[in-house]
Structure 1
Amino acid sequence: MCKTVTEATNQNSLSIDEMEALDIVHLMLEEDRNILEGVKKSLTAIAKAVELIVDKWQHGARVFVAGAGTSGRIGVLDAVELGPTFSIDPDRWIAFVAGGKNAMWEPLEQHEDSDSDIVQELQQHHFNENDVLIAISASGTTPYSLAALTYAKEKQASSISISCNNQTISSELSDVGIELVVGPEVIRGSTRLKAGTAQKLAINMISTATMIKLGKVYQNEMVDMQLINKKLVKRAETMLTQLTNLDEQEAQALMNETNNDVKLSLIIAKTGCTKQEAEKYLTKANSHVKKAIHLYEMHSEKDIND
């Protein structure tokens, strides 16, 4: 039985309408302290979600994110950043918000009661058993999100839910149920506040940790970012000089040689191998730069010993 913490009255803010501005924001900050504890208790489930996506992704899965209102907007906000940050094909991590794209800019919350719109969207994208669905809903009972989870179950696809109540229907319907219980909002039911922040933290963790596990990060650098402007090209060159013994001119020359491929440039700079060898070992390492460097060094050491 779902306990609707998200709809409960916060006893700490009963007189918020009488407070001075400083007291209001102080109270809000104090209430926000509950967010970290709520997310902390869900870290195991969040990690399971990452492992599920990574496993499915390596077999060609796409990730679909569905939510209404604030929850949907959070899913879209996260998804659109994955392309430039990690060079993810936009057709592999797709987010839907109830009411469509206009709902990002207009209050179209009435669409959260629709249990057919999301199914039609998923059908149009040929959603199938190889894919992963992430349903985001503060209450865990939003019809739009529940319909997405139900459809995923029908298609025998993997599913993850993110909600902010205990024992939600969303969790029952999903393979991994993430319940971020952060307590009642300072304004009763206004889940754009603590619940929204907790959801943003969780989806950021899921997408970022997934990209790291897929080899999109070397140390803590974005080695798979899209170099779509001068600032990002400069960032990549600076990254090379900081991570290797190359000077600025050498970094620029290497980036030109690899057609601005940061991963290949790093492997070449770190090992002294050729571009063809870097490509070969990066493929063997499943796009992980550290693993590719290690494989090359092991191979070189073997050749020396032989």
Structure 2
Amino acid sequence: MDYVKITETPSYHNDLELMDTRTILINMNKEDQKVAEAVEQVIPQITKLVDALSERFQSGGRLFYIGAGTSGRLGILDASEIPPTYGMPHERVVGLIAGGDMAIRKSVEKAEDDTEQAWLDLEMHDIDRNDVVVGIAASGTTPYVIGGLRSAGKKGILTACITNNPRSPITQVSDIPIEVNVGPEFVTGSTRMKSGTSQKLVLNMISTALMIRIGRVKGNKMVNMQLSNDKLVDRGTRYIVEGLGISYEEAEELLKKHGSVKEVLDAAGKDI
């Protein structure tokens, strides 16, 4: 092993059980402040991934996240938010977790140790060379994720990873490794903390930047969001009022007629 497994190294803080609540929280917050700085260091790699994704998406490609435990759940969370936020079909960004949907809520014993299952899960979606697979693993050693990335790479599919252990095994099977070194966890080895936070930030950056690059945002507005509740209808209506300079009632009528802010603006030949 030619790397240090940072996610398992001892916390910088000791005797946690002797701290009062305020001290625990202050020290946790001090550690959390390091996360954004660590993510900043990997922006070049995230840029490379988003640019590659944008090119493939324009040709009908898809984004797959694969992970286990916390990492898998974060991938599913990111994927599930794309349709309502940006109006994309559910099958364009897909999150897969070791152990299947049951593992979203409860741990599935040893599911992450299966090196073959991730590829079987991906094959169920008819994955091809136009798609991209991003493996998420704080440790960088999860067999489910490594196996999936290795199989995808052998099929000529672009692969990337998000890990918190630089030079870990997962980086060896990824075309674009994103290695976020957040240092030891406040509670030693508890990667649901800083590691998980960093993964969430990177996932936000990947999917949001991708949606912007492929035209799902105008100005700074989510003009393709699904109108699935009153709050979103109101938001969309206000966007149209701002963009077209018309009354709220007129804007709401147009929104309901066309189905999205983008369609209303396109019909009027306007940008926000």
Q: TM over 0.5, yes or no? A: yes
Deviating more after overlay: 201-210 vs 223-232: 223-232
Q: 1:265 is matched by which residue type in structure 2?
A: V
Percent of residue pairs identical: 38
CA shift digits 1:15-73 (9 cap, x unpaired): 21211111111111011111011101011111111111111111111111100010000
Q: Where do 5+ consecutive residues of structure 1 fail to align?
A: 272-288, 291-306
Q: CA deviation at 1:6?
A: 0.5
SS at match of 2:46: helix
Asked which structure has the greater RCO (Cα within 8 Å, sep 6+), the reply is 2
Q: Tell me the SS of whatever aligns to 1:181.
A: coil
Q: How does 1:1-306 map to 2 (within 5 A)?
A: 1-10=2-11, 12-108=12-108, 110-257=110-257, 259-269=258-268, 271=270
Instruction: Name the aligned partner's letter for residue 242 of structure 1.
Output: E
CA contact (8 A) 2:225 2:260 kept: no
Deviations 1:126-180 (A, max 9, x none): 2222210010000111101101110111110011100001112222211111001
Give the distance between the partners of 2:202 and 2:162, measured in 1 at CA: 8
CA distance in 2, matches of 1:231, 1:17: 43
Q: Secondary structure at the match of 2:26?
A: helix
Instruction: Report the residue type matching 2:261 in the other structure.
Output: V
Deviations along 1:209-266, one digit per CA (max 9) or x if unpaired, are 0001111111111100011233322221111112231111321343344x22311212
TM-aligned CA distance change 1:109 to 1:27, over 3 Å = farther
Structure 2: distance between partners of 1:192 and 1:199: 10
Cα distance between partner residues in 1 of 2:205 and 2:255:
30
Q: Distance in 2 between matches of 1:103 and 1:252?
A: 41
How far, CA to CA, are the matches of 2:31 and 2:230 in structure 1?
42
Say which SS state the counterpart of residue 126 (structure 1) adopts: coil
Seen in structure 2, the aligned counterparts of structure 1 residues 254 and 241 have a Cα distance that, compared at 3 Å, is: same
- Secondary structure at the aligned position of 1:218 is classed as coil
Paired residues of 2:164 and 2:179 also in contact (CA < 8 A): yes
User: What is the DSSP-based 3-state SS (H/G/I as helix, E as strand, rest coil) of the residue aligned with 2:128?
Assistant: coil
* Secondary structure of the corresponding residue to residue 91 of structure 2: coil
1:270 Cα deviation from its structure 2 partner = 5.3
Matched-pair contact (CA < 8 Å) for 1:133–1:158: yes
- Deviation of 1:91 after TM superposition, in Å, equals 1.2
C-alpha separation between the residues in 1 aligned to 2:96 and 2:208? Answer: 19
Secondary structure of the residue that 1:187 maps to in structure 2? coil
Distance 2:49 2:266 in 1: 31
Does the residue aligned with 2:159 lie in a helix, a strand or coil?
Answer: strand
Q: Distance in 1 between matches of 2:193 and 2:184?
A: 10
The answer on whether the counterparts of 1:131 and 1:157 sit within 8 Å (CA) in structure 2 is yes
Tell whether the 8 Å contact from 2:119 to 2:152 is kept in structure 1 after alignment.
no
Q: Distance in 2 between matches of 1:44 and 1:223?
A: 28
Instruction: After TM superposition, give the deviation of residue 267 of structure 1 in Å.
Output: 3.2
TM-score by length of 2: 0.95
Q: 2-side partners of 1:20 and 1:176: how far apart?
A: 43
**What is the aligned partner in structure 2 of residue 283 from structure 1?**
none
Structure 2's unaligned 5+ residue stretches are none
Superposition deviation, residue 89 in structure 1 = 1.0
Distance 1:28 1:57 in 2: 39
Letter aligned with residue 263 of structure 1: K
Q: TM-score, normalised by structure 1?
A: 0.85
Which 4+ runs in 1 deviate beyond 6 A? Answer: none
Residues 98 and 256 (structure 1), Cα distance of their counterparts in 2 relative to 1, 3 Å cut: closer
- CA RMSD, aligned part only? 1.5
Query: Is the contact between residue 159 and residue 176 of structure 1 (CA under 8 Å) also seen in structure 2?
Result: yes
